[in-house]
Structure 1
Amino acid sequence: MSLAFILRFCLTFWYYPQIDASVFILIKTFLIGFCFDIGTISFFALPYVFYLLIIPKKLYGSIFDRVVTYIAYSIGLLIFLFSFFAEITFWEEFERRFNFIAVDYLIYTYEVVKNINESYPIPLLLSAILSVLFVLIFITKKANVFKKTFDNDTVLKQKLIPSLLIFFIASIFVLFIKNEDAEQFKNRYNNELAKTGIYSFFAAFKSNELSYTEFYKTIDEDKAFSNVKQKLTAPNSEFLQPKGKQIYRTVTHADSINPAQKPNVIFICIESLSASYLNSLGSELKITPTLDSLSNESLFFTNLYATGTRTVRGMEAITLSIPPTPGRSIVKRDNNTDLFTIGEVFKQQGYERNFFYGGDGYFDNMNTYFGGNEFNIIDRGRGFLLDSDIKTKRTNIDDDEVTFENAWGVCDEDIYSKVLKEADEAYLTDTPFFNFVMTTSNHRPFTYPDNKIDIPSGTSREGAIEYTDYAIGSFLNQAKTKPWFSNTVFVIMADHCASSAGRWNLNIDKYRIPAMIFNLEKIAPQKIEKLSSQIDVFPTLFALLNWDYTSNLFGLDIMKMKKEDERAFIGNYRNLGLLKDQKLMILSDQHIVNYYEWETDNDNLIPKEINTTLLEETISFYQVADYLYRNNGLKLKNN
C-alpha cells in the first residue's frame, strides 16, 4: 500500500502541469486509487490466507511453515518492488499505467528485455530492487512480525473473520468492479493515476479483445452497411453485392488517354514519427532535412492522421485500409490470414510483394500476418522456423549484411541495403515489385551507428529521428544510381506518432503524421491539405496509377475528396474516433459516446451536444469494420 501511494504521489508530482490539480479532484483521484490498491492487495493475499486457514495448529512455526511464509512474503515484495520500478519506465514511454502493451511485451521477451537492457542501467536497478527487498525483510524480522506469526495459538474460528473479509473484498472486485471504473475524470492523467498498475495489467490480460457489438453503441446492421456504402460510392466504382453485407466493389481508372502505369513501389513505413518533428510541418528542430526536402518534390499530405498508437495498428490501417477495431490489432489476432490487403491489389497487377523488417518478424505476429497474406518475408530471423501460416518464401538478413544492431533489429541503413539488393535481383526478372519496408531505428533505446549524425547514439529521440532521416537520404541517393529508379515510386509514411499521451482519451494532434508519394511520373509536386487518414494513402496511389481493380478497402482517393468527404479515423484499443470538420466523435466501451469541437490553437476539446448524424456515420464505419472481420468479410474467398 505504501509503495502504491508513493508511486501515485511521484507520478502526480511528475505530471502535475498536465493533471486536474483542484483539491477535490486530487482527493477523489487518490481515494479511488486507494480502493484499487486494497483490491489488488486482496488478490495477492488470497493464496496465503487460504494457506493459513488449512494449516493445522501443530505445524505453526515448523520448518515447512517458515519456508512457505518467508518465500511467499519475499515473492510478494519482489513483485511489488519490480512493479514500482517497471511502472516508472512504462509511464515514461507511454504515460499510462500498465495496459495491453505490457501484456504483449511479456510474449516477446527477447526484444523487450534486450531493449530495456539497452535503455536503462539494469544491473543498478536490479541491485536497488534486491537491496530494498532485503532491507524490508530485515525490518519485518526486527519488528518481530515473523516471531508473532509463528508463535501463536490462533484457532480456525478466530482466523475465519479476517479471512472472510479478504475473500469478500476480492469477490467484490471480481464480480462488480472493472478497471475502467477508475476513470471518473475528464482528464486522462487523473484516470490513469487513479488506477493501480498491477490491477491494470491483469485487467488488460483478460480483455485484449473487445466485442464491438457487446460494448459499443450499434445501429441496425443493414443501415450501417447502407451508410458506409453511400460514403464509398463513386462514379468509377460498382458494388458486387449492392444489398449484401459486403463492400467488395470494382474500381476503374484506366482509359485510352490515361493507361495504367506499373512502376515498382517501395513503401517506407517509419517507426514512431510525429508530424511535429518535420520543419515542413511546423517544427523548428531542423533534424529532418531529407524529408523536408522531399516534401517539396512529392505529393505531400499535410493533414493526414494515423489510426492508432502502435506499429501493428499502423500496419493494419495501411494494408487493410480499414478503420481500427476495438482491442488488439487484426495483425495480432487469430483468423488474420488470406485477407484482402493492398497486397492483393498489387497481385492483381502482377507484382511481387515483399515485407522487410530489420528484426525478427516473429515479434508482434508480423511474419504470420504478412506471410499469411502472400508477402515474401525478409527479416532478421535468427534461425527460427517458419510459421505454418506463412505461404511464401522467407529470406534471412545474414550476419555479414549487418553493420549495427540493437534490440529491435538492424539499423535503417542495413535494412535499406537489403532492399537495394533485393530490388536489383527483381529488376533482372523484369517483374514489378512492391516492397513494404518497416524501419526500427526511431525506437527506444534510440541507438544507431556512430559518426553518422551530430547527435550521439542513444541520447534522445531527436537523435534517432535525425539518423532515420539521414538513412532515408542515403538510401534514395543510392537508389538514384540504379537502373530501376526512374520506374519506381516511393511512398513514405509513419506508422504512428512518437507519443499519443495527453489530457484526453484521444488527443487529435498526437495522431498527425507525415506522408508523401515521391517520383510519380507526370504528377507535379504539391501539398495536399485535405483532412485524410492513413487508410487513404494506397487507394490514392492506385488512382494515380490509373489501376482497375477489385477492392475491399475503406480508403478513398484523397485527390478527389470533396469537402464533405474529408475525415480521419483515430483510435486506441478502447476509444474509436471520427474527426470531421473540426469535430470529434468518440465511441467508448460501456456504450459511452462523447462529442467535441476541436480548438486547434490550444489543442483543446470542447464538449458539445451530440450530433446524431455524425454519430450514426461514426457507428456505421466502426460497426461494419468489426462485422467484416468477425464474419470473414475481409477474406479473399468472398471476393
Structure 2
Amino acid sequence: MTPASLLATETPKKGSGFNFLTYPLALGILLIAISNLMRIALTLKSAGTADYNLASISAVFAIGLFYDLVNALYFVLPLMLMGWLTPGWLAIKPGYKWLANGLLFLLTFVLLLDAVSEWIFWDEFESRFNFIAVDYLVYTNEVLGNIRQSYPVEIIIIFLLILTILLTWMLTTIIAKHPFQPFSFWKRSVVTGIYSGVLIAAYFFVDNKVRQFSSNNYVNELAGNGMYELFAAYRNNELDYNQFYSTVSDQKAFVDIHALIKTRESHFVDQDPFSIRRDIVNLGPELRKNVVLISVESLSAEFLGSFGNTQRITPFLDSLAGESLLFTNLYATGTRTVRGLEALSIGTPPTPGQSIVRRPHNEELFSMGTVFKRKGYQTRFIYGGYGYFDNMGYFFGHNDYRVVDRNAISKEEIDFENIWGVADENLFELAMREIENGTQAGKPIFTQIMTTSNHRPYTYPDGRIDIPSHTSREGAVKYTDYAIGQFIKKASQKPWFKNTLFLIVADHCASSAGKTDLPVDRYKIPLIAYAPGFVKPGIMPRLMSQIDLGPTILGLLHFSYRSQFFGYDIFKLEAGRERAFISTYQSLGYIKHDSLVILKPQRVNGTFLPNFKDGSLRPVTSNKRLVEEAIAWYQSASFQFKKGLMKK
C-alpha cells in the first residue's frame, strides 16, 4: 500500500463509516500507548540507578496515565476542531478523508519523533523534557547539528516514517469499521464545548507538581509525560522569586544579607538599604599578573584522579594538580554552561528560571571584567563556538569583555570542528594568539576561555589520545585534558608565563541527575590554581561556591576595589562561614556545614542532611536559621537583578 492509497482509503458508505470523535479518540489512545511504552523503556533504562519498588512503580504508571490523558487533551485539539467545523455530509467525502488521514499521519509521526527525542534527552540529562529543551528549540542549528553528529538521524527518520505509515494504516482500517453517526452542528458544539471546558480546566488547574510524589527524583521524572513537561517548562521558563518562593520582607532580606556578606576586609559605602556595594581593602602592593581562567565544559570532579578516579583520563590535570593549589570542596551553582559563566563573571547566587546570561536587561552589570578593566587590564572572553549561542557573546560583550569566538579562526587554522565549535586545541591556539597580542601591547590581560570538546557527540581530532573519537564521554574528557596540557606547555615557553596566574575550573558537572532533586555529589567541580613561584602547591579543602572564585582571584592579586559581588575571598573568610549554592531552574539549594536547605516553588522548603558521596538526602527538622539565610541570599539576588541594582 502506497502513502497515497493510505491517505485516500475507500470512502465509507452511510452506516459503515465514523463520527467526528473517532479520529481524536484513536489518536488519544495511540498517544497513551506510546507514552506508556516509553515509560516502560525509560524505567528499564534507569533500573540500575533508580532504586524502584512495587509501590513506586505503581504510582509511576498511575500518575503517568493521568499526565498522558492531560497531554492527549492538548494533542487532539486540531482533530477536534476539524471535526467540529466539518458538516456530516462533508465528512464522508474523499477530500475530507485525505485531509483527516493526512493530519492523523502527521500527528502520529510527531508522537513517534517525540518518543525518540525523549530517549535522546534522557540519555543526556536523565530527565524528562525541561527548560533546557525549551532553550534548545531556540538554538536549532547547534542542537540539530549535535544530534546529527551523535546519532544516525537519517536511518531513524526513515524508520519512523515506515512505522508512521503502518500505524496510520492500522488506525484508518479500524476507523473505517465504526458505524457512521452524523452529529448536528449543535450536538458537535455541545461535545466540543465540554471538551474545551475540560481542556481549559487542565490548563489552569493541572501543573507538573502532581508527579513530584517521591523523594526519588528518577521516579518523579518517569511519572511525567515528556510532551506535557515541555509545555510546562515553556510556561515556567522564568520564575519570579517573590511570587513562587518563601520570602521575608525585602528590608529583612537585606539586613540579613548585609550581615552574611560582610567580611573583615570590606565595609559598605552608602546608606541605601538595598545596596551591597562595599570597598574591599587588601593589604600589600597589587600584583598586576595576567590571569587566564579556563572554564572547562562539564568537567566533573569525579573525572580527575585527584578526586579518586582510576581511569587515567586526566593525566595532565592530575600532574598539574601536584604543582598547584587544588580546591577539593567547590560546588557549581547550576547545571548549565550559562549558569557557570554567570557565577564566574558576576558572582551572584543563581536566580530561579533562566540564567542572567540569557535574560533581557543584562547589560552593564558589575563583573570580573569591570574590575580588571578599571585596573587597566585588557579583558577577553574566548569561545570556540559562535558567541550567539546561549547569548554568551551579547552578555560578555556588554559587560566589559571583548568577545573572541569562532569567527576569529580561519578555515586553515582548524584541525577539527563539530557543531559546538572548533577542537579545544584550536581554541587554545586562538587564546595563545590573543594573549600574545595583549601582552605585547604593554598591558596585563584577563582572559576567560570556554572549552567545548567535552560535549556530545564527543568528537575530536584523531591521533591525539588513545581513545577513539566519537566513542565516549571519557574520550572527550581525556582529549580536553590533552589540549589543556599542550596549551600550558606552550605557554611555559613564553615570556609572559612567569607573570601569569592560570585557573582551571568546570562550568558544571557532566550530569546533575540523581535520585534526589539536588544530588550534591553531582555539583562538585575541580579548581586548579597554577602559578609557579606565586601560588604555593597544596590542598584547599574548605567548602566553596563557584561565585567565590572571582573575589578569591582578586584577593590573591591583593586588589582593593569596590565590589558588588555576593562571593567571598575564601582565604580571608573566617572559619565556619563557608557555604555553597546549587540549583536547577526551579529548586534552589543552600549548603552550610553538614546541611542542605532546598527552596522550591509553591513556597515549599526542606532541610536535609546530604550524603556528599552518593547525593542521597535524609530529611531533618527544619532549621529556621539556615532557611532564613537561604531565603536572604536568593531573595536579595533576585531583587538586585530585577531592580537593576547589579549594574555597575
Bin of the TM-score, shorter chain as denominator length: over 0.9
Equivalents in 1 of 2:227, 2:176: separation in Å?
A: 26
Equivalents in 2 of 1:307, 1:507: separation in Å?
A: 12
Equivalents in 2 of 1:450, 1:20: separation in Å?
A: 39
Equivalents in 1 of 2:193, 2:211: separation in Å?
A: 25
1:296 corresponds to: 322
1:179 corresponds to: 208
Q: 1:365 aligns with which of 359, 374, 391?
A: 391
1:509 corresponds to: 521
1:81 corresponds to: 112
Equivalents in 2 of 1:603, 1:51: separation in Å?
A: 50
2:606 corresponds to: 594
Q: Shift of the alpha carbon at 1:606?
A: 0.8
Secondary structure of the 2:47 match is: coil
Secondary structure of the 1:323 match is: coil
Q: 2:162 aligns with which of 101, 112, 131?
A: 131
CA contact (8 A) 2:268 2:279 kept: yes
Measured on the aligned residues, the alpha-carbon RMSD in Å equals: 1.5
Q: 1:112 aligns with which of 139, 143, 158?
A: 143
1:165-564 superposed matches below 5 A: 165-254=194-283, 258-381=284-407, 396-519=408-531, 521-564=533-576
Equivalents in 2 of 1:599, 1:28: separation in Å?
A: 26
Q: Deviations over 1:217-247 (max 9, x none)?
A: 0012111111111122122211122452011
Secondary structure of the 1:515 match is: strand
Can you give the 5+ residue segments of structure 2 that lack an aligned partner in the other structure?
1-31
Q: Shift of the alpha carbon at 1:161?
A: 5.6
Equivalents in 1 of 2:135, 2:399: separation in Å?
A: 22
Equivalents in 2 of 1:602, 1:451: separation in Å?
A: 36
Q: Shift of the alpha carbon at 1:112?
A: 0.8
CA contact (8 A) 2:467 2:475 kept: yes
Can you give the 5+ residue segments of structure 1 that lack an aligned partner in the other structure?
382-395
Q: Shift of the alpha carbon at 1:179?
A: 1.6
Q: Does 1:69 align with 2:95?
A: no
Secondary structure of the 2:534 match is: coil
CA contact (8 A) 1:275 1:514 kept: yes
Equivalents in 1 of 2:197, 2:219: separation in Å?
A: 28
1:611 corresponds to: 623
Q: Shift of the alpha carbon at 1:160?
A: 4.8
Equivalents in 2 of 1:100, 1:131: separation in Å?
A: 31
1:52 corresponds to: 83
Q: Shift of the alpha carbon at 1:616?
A: 0.6
CA contact (8 A) 1:348 1:549 kept: no
Aligned AA (1:533): S
Q: Deviations over 1:173-215 (max 9, x none)?
A: 1121112222111111111111100011011111110000000
Q: Shift of the alpha carbon at 1:113?
A: 0.9
Q: Shift of the alpha carbon at 1:164?
A: 4.0
Q: Deviations over 1:104-135 (max 9, x none)?
A: 11111111111101101111111111011011
Greater Cα offset, 181-190 or 19-28 = 19-28
Task: Give the TM-score taking structure 2 as reference length.
Answer: 0.93
Secondary structure of the 1:625 match is: helix
Equivalents in 2 of 1:599, 1:429: separation in Å?
A: 50
Secondary structure of the 1:361 match is: coil
Q: Deviations over 1:587-610 (max 9, x none)?
A: 001100011012335542110000
Secondary structure of the 1:319 match is: helix
CA contact (8 A) 1:36 1:196 kept: yes
CA contact (8 A) 2:373 2:400 kept: no
Secondary structure of the 1:219 match is: coil
CA contact (8 A) 2:290 2:501 kept: yes
Equivalents in 1 of 2:379, 2:312: separation in Å?
A: 35
Secondary structure of the 1:555 match is: coil
Q: Shift of the alpha carbon at 1:51?
A: 2.0
Secondary structure of the 1:8 match is: helix
Equivalents in 2 of 1:338, 1:146: separation in Å?
A: 64
CA contact (8 A) 1:270 1:494 kept: yes
Equivalents in 2 of 1:521, 1:170: separation in Å?
A: 68
Equivalents in 2 of 1:538, 1:345: separation in Å?
A: 10
Aligned AA (2:250): E
CA contact (8 A) 1:20 1:26 kept: no
Q: Deviations over 1:449-473 (max 9, x none)?
A: 0000000001000000001101011
Greater Cα offset, 622-631 or 227-236 = 227-236
Q: 1:141 aligns with which of 161, 172, 176?
A: 172
Secondary structure of the 2:50 match is: coil
2:13 corresponds to: none
Equivalents in 1 of 2:249, 2:73: separation in Å?
A: 43
Q: Deviations over 1:322-341 (max 9, x none)?
A: 11000010000001111001
CA contact (8 A) 1:307 1:511 kept: yes
* Percentage of matched positions with identical amino acids: 40
Q: Deviations over 1:23-76 (max 9, x none)?
A: 222212211110110111111222221221222233122244223212221121
Equivalents in 1 of 2:92, 2:531: separation in Å?
A: 78
Q: Deviations over 1:558-616 (max 9, x none)?
A: 11233321111111100001111111000001100011012335542110000001011
Equivalents in 1 of 2:177, 2:404: separation in Å?
A: 61
Cα 1:455/1:242, change in 2 over 3 Å: same
CA contact (8 A) 2:101 2:172 kept: no
Greater Cα offset, 479-488 or 58-67 = 58-67
Equivalents in 2 of 1:533, 1:46: separation in Å?
A: 47
Secondary structure of the 2:452 match is: coil
Aligned AA (1:296): G
Aligned AA (1:81): L
Equivalents in 1 of 2:84, 2:406: separation in Å?
A: 53
Equivalents in 2 of 1:523, 1:56: separation in Å?
A: 81
Q: Shift of the alpha carbon at 1:479?
A: 0.6
Task: Give the TM-score taking structure 1 as reference length.
Answer: 0.94
Equivalents in 2 of 1:336, 1:118: separation in Å?
A: 33
CA contact (8 A) 1:46 1:166 kept: no
Q: Shift of the alpha carbon at 1:163?
A: 3.1
Equivalents in 2 of 1:181, 1:550: separation in Å?
A: 47
Cα 1:601/1:406, change in 2 over 3 Å: closer
1:19 corresponds to: 50
Secondary structure of the 2:571 match is: helix
Q: Shift of the alpha carbon at 1:87?
A: 0.2
